[in-house]
Amino acid sequence: MAAQRTRKVVQVQEEEMQADVASILEGEKEEDGNTFNVIEKLEVAGIHSSDIRKLKEAGFHTIEAIAYAPRKELLAVKGISEQKAEKIFMEATKLVPMGFTTASEVHVKRAEIVQIETGSRELNRLLGGGIETGSITEIFGEFRTGKSQLCHTLAVMCQLPVDMGAAKVSASGSTQRAPSDRNACWL
- Residue 86 CA, chain-centre distance (Å), reads 25
**Fold designation for 39-95:** DNA polymerase; domain 1 (1.10.150)
Local confidence pLDDT in tens for the 187 residues of the chain: 666 666 666 676 667 666 665 665 555 444 444 577 888 888 888 899 999 999 999 999 999 999 999 989 999 999 999 999 999 999 998 888 777 889 999 999 888 888 898 889 999 999 988 999 888 999 999 999 999 999 999 999 888 887 786 776 555 444 444 444 444 444 4
Amino acid (1-letter code) at residue 135: S
pLDDT at 133: 87
The answer, as to whether pTM is greater than 0.85, is no
DSSP label of 101? -
Which of 99, 125, 117 is closest to 168 using CA atoms?
117
Residues contacting 76, CB < 8 A, separation 6+? 58
In the chain, CATH 1.10.150.20 covers 39-95
